[in-house]
Structure 1
Amino acid sequence: MIFLGKGCLRFFLFVILMLVIIFVGLKNINWIFETIYPIHYADLVKKYAEEYDVDPYLIVSIMKNESKFDPKAVSKKDAKGLMQIAPITGQWASEKLNIANYSEDMLFDPELNIRIGTWYLNVLKNEFGDNLEVIIAGYNAGNGNVKKWLNNPEYSADGKTLNHIPFSETRIYQKKVLRDYKIYKKIYQ
């Protein structure tokens, strides 16, 4: 029996991937990337991206990182659904969007969840401009925290850009969403 170390296994998998690319051809390789980076709920994403003027690739990048596209996902902080809407955000959005008979369980409905999440991204965009890094940090940590950070020279030199994010969870989240956003754009545009 042969045992492969991690380095050997990675090399072996790399060689297999290269052979697949050569065999299938570079033009036909997109299906691999589309499998790893799918776009679920495309019609709803498109609908609310247009309504709230938010990049659809940002929406799917957030869904991928927040819930891995699981509409029944619940976080440790009780955020719910595809875009992991916190109860307080859901209540606030339901008032602003005039959602009749709102209850937290409605956050498991993909359409309502994507609508609220995209609406909130638009709120952040209106507050922070087109600064994608700040918008993503705001989605994770809340706009109140981000405003404090932007007003603190320890975290922001110019009041517009975050030079340092004090929450490690938000730092990691921001990097993952930005990475996935760039990948989605490269695959689908």
Structure 2
Amino acid sequence: MSRTTGSGAGIKIGIAVLILCLCLTYFQTWKKDLMRQFVYPLQYDYMVRQYAHADGVDPALVAAVILAESKFNETAASHRGAQGLMQIMPETGTWIAEKMKWRDFTPAQLADVRTNIRMGTWYLAYLLKVYQGNTVLALAAYNAGRGTVDGWRETYGWPKDFSKIEEIPFSETREYVKMVLLNEQQYKALYDF
């Protein structure tokens, strides 16, 4: 009797292992789709790619900034007044419009998805140029402001190739840079960039 019970238990364990293997295989097959849909969405894909290409920025970085800033919520607004997908402040939007030679710009236009992605991508490209391709400094400036980052560079003697994220004095900015860089890696892994 114990032999039959023992082999019955072995069969049950074998079936459980088989079901677990099938579930894991199924999950691995659909993992990218689940990650794309629920964790790393890419709405407005065409515009992200179009403006990133036009400004010479990696589209994965643009998508990563949008995810960190607004989670692709086009109506996002911060308590400080930043608007839209890329959370652009009205004053920054006005400055960007001047630099882009954009006529008749009003801060209300930042609520438009196309305008917001276009201006935010241009600004990200601008910061990357200012910081000579240093993504850590450019992202820190996108979050904390260029004047703040320039002050940190002067105060702490950060070199042009600064990469020590843990040395960023504002925890919000430090975590922001980490998050965007992680998001960028995931977008590169999940999408054809």
Match of 2:113 among 98, 110, 115: 110
- Alignment check: 8 A CA contact 2:134 2:160 kept: no
Q: Highest Rg: 1 or 2?
A: 2
The amino acid across from 2:162 in the alignment is T
Q: In the alignment, which residue of structure 1 is the partner of 2:86?
A: 83
More helix by share: 2
Shift of 1:19: 6.6
Shift in CA distance, 151/20, structure 1 to aligned 2, threshold 3 Å: farther
Shift in CA distance, 44/21, structure 1 to aligned 2, threshold 3 Å: farther
Shift of 1:54: 0.5
Shift in CA distance, 28/84, structure 1 to aligned 2, threshold 3 Å: same
- Alignment check: 8 A CA contact 1:48 1:114 kept: yes
Q: In the alignment, which residue of structure 1 is the partner of 2:56?
A: 53
Shift of 1:26: 2.5
Moved over 2 A (4+): 18-21, 25-29
Q: In the alignment, which residue of structure 2 is the partner of 1:133?
A: 136
Match of 2:33 among 13, 31, 45: 31
Give the TM-score taking structure 2 as reference length.
0.81
Cα RMSD (Å):
1.8
Q: How many residues align?
A: 170
Shift of 1:98: 2.2
Q: In the alignment, which residue of structure 2 is the partner of 1:8?
A: none
The amino acid across from 1:110 in the alignment is V
The alignment partner of 2:155 has SS state of: coil
Shift in CA distance, 19/79, structure 1 to aligned 2, threshold 3 Å: farther
Shift in CA distance, 101/129, structure 1 to aligned 2, threshold 3 Å: same
Q: In 2, distance between residues paired with 1:20 and 1:129?
A: 49
Q: In 2, distance between residues paired with 1:83 and 1:25?
A: 32
Shift of 1:20: 7.5
Shift of 1:23: 4.6
Q: Which runs of 5+ in 2 are unaligned?
A: 1-19
- Alignment check: 8 A CA contact 1:49 1:55 kept: yes
Q: In the alignment, which residue of structure 1 is the partner of 2:9?
A: none
Q: How does 1:91-170 map to 2 (within 5 A)?
A: 91-153=94-156, 156=158, 158-161=159-162, 163=164, 164-170=167-173
Q: In 2, distance between residues paired with 1:97 and 1:71?
A: 22
Name whichever of 164-173 and 72-81 sits farther off.
164-173
Question: Greater relative contact order: 1 or 2 (C-alpha under 8 angstroms, separation 6 or more)?
Answer: 2
Shift in CA distance, 66/19, structure 1 to aligned 2, threshold 3 Å: farther
* Identity of matched residues, %: 36
Q: In 1, distance between residues paired with 2:160 and 2:50?
A: 33
